[in-house]
């Protein structure tokens, strides 16, 4: 294993040993880690449940312009998402520490964790000079021992990994000395060790190397070019003594004729040259051609005409700018040649515009003729149009061309074409001419309207105002004029013999959807229908979209107390013996709420209670039980006010007042009854009445159910010791009430029946011999018993003395 690899593994092992402070979790990792490398397990370190990370919408926010780190929501692992370069993150070298600051956010409940990841420096950057080439101009008269500052090298790494020293390539004329400044950075000075002689060597090439202190060390180099300056001792010279140049007539003004190049072996101002005409150059030549004094370029200044003037002679002098200037000269002869100076011509014979976008292929759009007055190759012409167009040229006869459609046209993509006809001859140089025609396309209704979504889900709060705007369902048609004018319709659909147009309305012009009535979540929970957008083209085109209206529940129904039942505004009066045991069921409050599941969740509380130590109330099932036995100090009458509150915002509630009276003697004979088991078939019929009774708060309906129950009980065969019976049977599901003992009047029977029948049992009262208390039993459903017997009774029994 290489030393560098061992170093990376050691840093990774050390970095995973982190500590969690009071508010920030710290990690350390080396830079340049591979993508996908695991930094830590946030779920473990932050004591989070991995199974809930995705549900709680765990996300990682990093305070930087790149997402270097990310978190795996399946495992809770923090991993490297993008290669980390410490030098890109921390550009300043004032501090050796470099951090990435992260925020881990979770919802339900919201928790935010702050994380700092320290990026440890590695020697991954070599020293680099600001300039790859350092130029120095030194006069050959410079004495030895003279010093020259060189550009220093920079290393983005910090500490011992930064620049440590400099080296110079082998030279018998130069040496270097390393200097250190206050901030710790180092730079080199070049020292001249011997005198320079330009005639022996004009330029010296050196290599300056900067080395850092890393392990292994890295280095960077720069070329040092030392140019030796000399005196003006060389005259300028041209490449040739004489030049013969040919140029075409009618050459444009500014055309380059020749670029003269004179050279001077000297340096600096001694080699800067100025070009000029000599006295032997005629005024006609100087008026026709321009000589640039700085560059030596000769360009056309006047009109060249072969018939007027064919030969131009000139002499050009190059002079340097030394203190004692030197010069050189050359002669130039320019010959004017005849050229192709007639342009070809274009004539549009016919042009059809505008045309329909659905025009057929190979249809002729235009007829064009071309001509050129020149002869030979200069008179042969070619006609072209741009290659990126859906048209082509077809030659019909000599110099006549037809422009035809070669590809299908689409106005929605390109509404018009600027077609440029270019004609070019075959002369040297070729001449050309062009003419541009605009072809307009007429719209055809070939695009159906398009909605921005294929399915719209709109949530509407119940109890909305009629006429309320629900949403704007707009479509787009790229066609023009009447082909893009859209009309919106609701496609008819009946729900419960009610048409959609009676519930909703849409503006046919802009697609605004309105509600025509007030919706009630308890009656209507959602609607599904279609909306059509149709353009005004001929024939018209259309498309439709599905709209799903979801009625959102409001807490607009207060709980209704159905047990213990009482007339409006009345108080429920109950009697219980003072000998009632601790934990006995006194009463059970049952309330119903027709709102949605969330809003209809009922909780029960005592609003008023005569003695808070005597009774307890289960907040979820409404059971009122004794917390202790009655004592002689307890008042005979107890007043309990129970409030049933739903889970809505704001919460709605209902109350019931129960007046309890305690008695020393047994219950009187007017309610003397005992239970007999009923056949399961009877219970099944009564269960239907119970469901109806619990769904209604009507007093009349409840009385009807009770009468029906009595009539059913009369059909049951009584026991040997029992008289004809009067039954009360009420069934409800999912009760959590355990079997218990009750001694009470009719109101308590009602609560007892609810509790026992929830467990699938039936409780029936029948008269017993005078002087006895109630014998209360429960019968599991499906026992198959059809006759009342002592063996059928179970769990609930209170037997009195005869």
The per-residue pLDDT for range 160-179, each reduced to its tens digit, is 778 888 888 888 888 888 88
What pLDDT was estimated at residue 488? 93
State the alpha helices, DSSP H only, in 147-297: 283-288
Residues 67, 580: Cα–Cα separation, whole Å: 71
What pLDDT was estimated at residue 665? 55
Q: Is the peptide bond before 650 cis (omega within 30 degrees of 0)?
A: yes
What pLDDT was estimated at residue 728? 31
What pLDDT was estimated at residue 530? 92
Are 439 and 529 in contact by the 8 Å Cβ rule? The answer is no
For residue 42, give both structure tokens. Answer: 């946030």
DSSP 577-638: ETTPPTT-EEEE-EEE--S-TTTT--EEEEEEES-TTTEEE-TTT-EEEESS---TTS-SEE
**Which CATH architecture describes the domain 237-337?**
Sandwich (2.60)
4-13, 20-29, 218-227: the lowest-pLDDT one: 4-13
| H helix or E strand, kind and range, residue 706 | helix 699-713
Residues 176, 188: Cα–Cα separation, whole Å: 6
| H helix or E strand, kind and range, residue 503 | helix 500-503
On the question of pLDDT at 19 being above 60, the answer is: no
What pLDDT was estimated at residue 30? 87
Residues 684, 703: Cα–Cα separation, whole Å: 19
Are 271 and 232 in contact by the 8 Å Cβ rule? The answer is no
Higher model confidence: residue 705 or residue 338? 705
What pLDDT was estimated at residue 739? 33
For domain 25-119, the CATH class is mainly beta
What pLDDT was estimated at residue 125? 80
What pLDDT was estimated at residue 11? 45
On the question of pLDDT at 756 being above 90, the answer is: no
On the question of pLDDT at 742 being above 60, the answer is: no
Domain boundaries, the chain: 25-119, 128-229, 237-337, 345-442, 450-552, 560-663
On the question of pLDDT at 405 being above 90, the answer is: yes
What pLDDT was estimated at residue 16? 39
DSSP reduced 3-state for 505: strand
Residues 6, 30: Cα–Cα separation, whole Å: 12
For residue 15, give both structure tokens. Answer: 């970095």
Rounded to the nearest 10 degrees, what angle do helices 680-694 and 699-713 cross at? 170
**Planar angle of CA 127, 128, 134, nearest 5 degrees:** 130
Average pLDDT over residues 143-159: 83
On the question of pLDDT at 772 being above 60, the answer is: no
Are 492 and 475 in contact by the 8 Å Cβ rule? The answer is no
Q: How far is CA 785 from the centre of its chain?
A: 67
Q: Report yes or no on whether pTM surpasses 0.85.
A: no
On the question of pLDDT at 254 being above 90, the answer is: yes
State the alpha helices, DSSP H only, in 271-338: 283-288
What is each CA distance from 796 to 735, 753, 782, in whole angstroms?
Answer: 16, 11, 18
Q: Choose among 346, 392, 349, 390: nearest CA to 372.
A: 346
CATH of domain 450-552: 2.60.40.60
Per-residue confidence band for 750, with pLDDT thresholds at 50, 70 and 90: very low
For residue 638, give both structure tokens. Answer: 């107890």
Higher model confidence: residue 376 or residue 346? 346
Task: Please check whether the two domains, 128-229 and 450-552, share a CATH topology.
Answer: yes
CB-based contacts of 688, cutoff 8 Å, min separation 6: none
Per-residue confidence band for 205, with pLDDT thresholds at 50, 70 and 90: very high
**Which CATH architecture describes the domain 345-442?**
Sandwich (2.60)
252-266, 402-416, 765-779: the lowest-pLDDT one: 765-779
SS3 content of the chain, % helix, strand, coil (to 5): 10, 40, 50
Residues 11, 49: Cα–Cα separation, whole Å: 29
Beta strands in 452-580 (DSSP E): 455-461, 469-472, 475-476, 486-490, 494-495, 498-499, 504-506, 512-515, 526-535, 542-552, 560-563, 572-577
Per-residue confidence band for 188, with pLDDT thresholds at 50, 70 and 90: confident
721 φ/ψ angles, rounded to the nearest 5 degrees: -95, 5
Beta strands in 381-515 (DSSP E): 381-384, 391-397, 400-405, 416-425, 432-442, 450-451, 455-461, 469-472, 475-476, 486-490, 494-495, 498-499, 504-506, 512-515
Are 644 and 589 in contact by the 8 Å Cβ rule? The answer is yes
Residues 483, 534: Cα–Cα separation, whole Å: 9
Are 534 and 542 in contact by the 8 Å Cβ rule? The answer is yes
On the question of pLDDT at 729 being above 50, the answer is: no
Average pLDDT over residues 425-451: 88
CATH 2.60.40.60 fits 560-663, yes or no: yes
Average pLDDT, the chain: 78
| H helix or E strand, kind and range, residue 225 | strand 219-229
370-374, 527-531, 710-714, 790-794: the lowest-pLDDT one: 790-794
**Planar angle of CA 748, 749, 753, nearest 5 degrees:** 120
What pLDDT was estimated at residue 726? 31
Per DSSP, 649 falls in state: S
Average pLDDT over residues 49-76: 84
Average pLDDT over residues 217-232: 86
Spatial strand order of the sheet with 615-617 comes to 585-588, 623-626, 615-617
DSSP 93-142: -S-S--EEEEEEEETTTTEEEEEEEEEE--S----EES-SEEEEEEETTP
Residues 677, 776: Cα–Cα separation, whole Å: 11
As a whole number of angstroms, the longest Cα–Cα distance in the chain is 161
On the question of pLDDT at 361 being above 70, the answer is: yes
On the question of pLDDT at 737 being above 60, the answer is: no
Q: Is the peptide bond before 109 cis (omega within 30 degrees of 0)?
A: yes
Average pLDDT over residues 358-381: 86
What pLDDT was estimated at residue 428? 81
Per-residue confidence band for 670, with pLDDT thresholds at 50, 70 and 90: very low
Q: Choose among 348, 300, 315: nearest CA to 241.
A: 315
- Is 801 exposed, middle or buried, given 0-12, 13-18 or 19+ CB atoms closer than 10 A? exposed
On the question of pLDDT at 494 being above 80, the answer is: no
Residues 693, 209: Cα–Cα separation, whole Å: 99
What pLDDT was estimated at residue 765? 38
Higher model confidence: residue 124 or residue 74? 74
Q: Would strands 512-515 and 416-425 be described as parallel, antiparallel, or unpaired?
A: unpaired
What pLDDT was estimated at residue 245? 94
Which of the listed CATH numbers 2.60.40.60, 1.10.3720.10, 3.40.50.300, 2.60.40.420 matches domain 128-229? 2.60.40.60
In SS3 terms, 137-150 reads as EEECCCCCCCEEEC
The per-residue pLDDT for range 588-627, each reduced to its tens digit, is 888 888 777 778 888 898 888 888 888 888 888 888 998 8
Residues 639, 609: Cα–Cα separation, whole Å: 6
Q: Choose among 594, 524, 511: nearest CA to 552.
A: 524
Q: Choose among 232, 244, 199: nearest CA to 327.
A: 232
């Amino acid at each position: 294993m290489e030393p560098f690899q061992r170093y990376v593994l050691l840093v990774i092992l050390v970095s995973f040993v982190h500590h969690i402070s009071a508010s920030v979790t710290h990690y350390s990792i080396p830079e340049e880690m591979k993508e996908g490398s695991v930094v830590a397990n946030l779920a473990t370190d932050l004591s989070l449940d991995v199974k809930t990370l995705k549900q709680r919408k765990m996300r990682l926010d990093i305070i930087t312009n790149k997402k270097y780190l990310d978190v795996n929501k399946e495992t809770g692992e923090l991993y490297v998402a993008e290669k980390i370069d410490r030098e890109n993150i921390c550009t300043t070298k004032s501090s050796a520490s470099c951090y990435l600051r992260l925020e881990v956010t979770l919802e339900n409940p919201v928790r935010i964790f702050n994380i700092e990841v320290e990026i440890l420096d590695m020697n991954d950057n070599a020293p680099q000079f600001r300039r790859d080439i350092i130029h120095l101009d030194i006069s050959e008269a410079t004495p030895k021992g003279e010093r020259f500052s060189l550009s220093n090298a920079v290393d983005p790494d910090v500490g011992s990994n930064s620049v440590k020293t400099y080296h110079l390539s082998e030279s018998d004329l130069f040496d270097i000395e390393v200097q250190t400044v206050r901030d710790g950075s180092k730079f080199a000075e070049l020292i001249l060790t011997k005198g320079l002689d330009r005639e022996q060597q004009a330029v010296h090439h050196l290599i300056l190397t900067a080395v850092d202190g890393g392990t292994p060390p890295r280095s960077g180099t720069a070329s040092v070019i030392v140019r030796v300056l000399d005196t003006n001792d060389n005259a300028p010279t041209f490449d040739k003594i004489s030049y013969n140049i040919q140029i075409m007539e009618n050459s444009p003004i500014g055309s380059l004729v020749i670029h003269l190049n004179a050279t001077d072996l000297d340096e600096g101002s001694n080699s800067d040259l100025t070009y000029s005409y000599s006295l032997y150059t005629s005024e006609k030549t100087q008026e026709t051609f321009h000589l640039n004094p700085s560059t030596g370029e000769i360009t056309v200044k006047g009109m060249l005409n072969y018939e007027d003037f064919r030969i131009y002679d000139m002499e050009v002098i190059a002079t340097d700018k030394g203190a004692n200037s030197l010069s050189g000269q050359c002669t130039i002869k320019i010959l004017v040649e005849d050229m192709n100076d007639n342009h070809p011509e274009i004539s549009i014979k016919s042009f059809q515009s505008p045309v329909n976008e659905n025009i057929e292929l190979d249809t002729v759009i235009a007829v064009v003729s071309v001509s050129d007055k020149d002869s030979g190759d200069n008179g042969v012409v070619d006609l072209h149009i741009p290659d990126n167009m859906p048209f082509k040229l077809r030659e019909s006869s000599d110099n006549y061309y037809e422009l035809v459609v070669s590809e299908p046209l689409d106005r929605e993509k390109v509404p018009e074409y600027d077609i440029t006809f270019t004609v070019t001859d075959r002369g040297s140089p070729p001449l050309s001419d062009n003419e541009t025609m605009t072809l307009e396309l007429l719209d055809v209704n070939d695009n159906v309207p398009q909605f921005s979504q294929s399915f719209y889900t709109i949530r509407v709060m119940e109890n909305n105002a009629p006429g309320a705007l629900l949403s704007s369902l707009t479509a787009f048609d790229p066609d023009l004029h009447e082909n893009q004018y859209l009309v919106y319709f609701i496609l008819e659909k009946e729900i419960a013999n009610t048409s959609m147009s009676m519930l909703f309305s849409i503006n046919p012009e802009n697609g605004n959807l309105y509600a025509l009535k007030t919706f009630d979540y308890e009656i209507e929970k959602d609607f599904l229908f279609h909306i059509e957008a149709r353009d005004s083209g001929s024939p018209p085109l259309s498309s439709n979209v599905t709209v799903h209206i979801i009625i959102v529940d409001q807490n607009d129904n207060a709980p209704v107390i159905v047990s213990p039942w009482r007339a409006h505004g009345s108080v429920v009066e109950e009697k219980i013996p003072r000998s009632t045991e601790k934990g006995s069921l006194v009463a059970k409050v049952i309330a119903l709420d027709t709102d949605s599941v969330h809003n209809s969740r009922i909780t029960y509380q005592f609003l008023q209670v005569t003695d808070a130590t005597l009774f307890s109330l289960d907040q979820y099932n409404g059971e009122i039980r004794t917390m202790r036995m009655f004592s002689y100090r307890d008042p005979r009458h107890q007043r309990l006010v129970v409030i049933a509150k739903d889970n809505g915002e704001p919460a709605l509630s209902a109350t019931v007042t129960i007046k309890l009276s305690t008695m020393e003697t047994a219950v009187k004979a007017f309610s003397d009854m005992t239970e007999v088991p009923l056949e399961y078939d009877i219970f099944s019929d009564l269960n239907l009445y119970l469901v109806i009774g619990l769904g209604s708060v009507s007093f009349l309906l409840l009385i009807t159910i009770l009468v029906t129950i009595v009539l059913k009980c009369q059909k049951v065969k009584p026991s040997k010791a029992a008289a004809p019976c009067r039954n009360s049977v009420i069934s409800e599901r999912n009760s959590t009430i355990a079997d218990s003992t009750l001694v009470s009047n009719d109101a308590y029977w009602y609560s007892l029946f609810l509790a026992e029948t929830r467990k699938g049992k039936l409780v029936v009262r029948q008269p017993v011999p005078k002087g006895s208390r109630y014998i209360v039993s429960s019968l599991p459903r499906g026992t198959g018993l059809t006759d009342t017997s002592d063996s059928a009774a179970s769990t609930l029994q209170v037997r009195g003395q005869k």
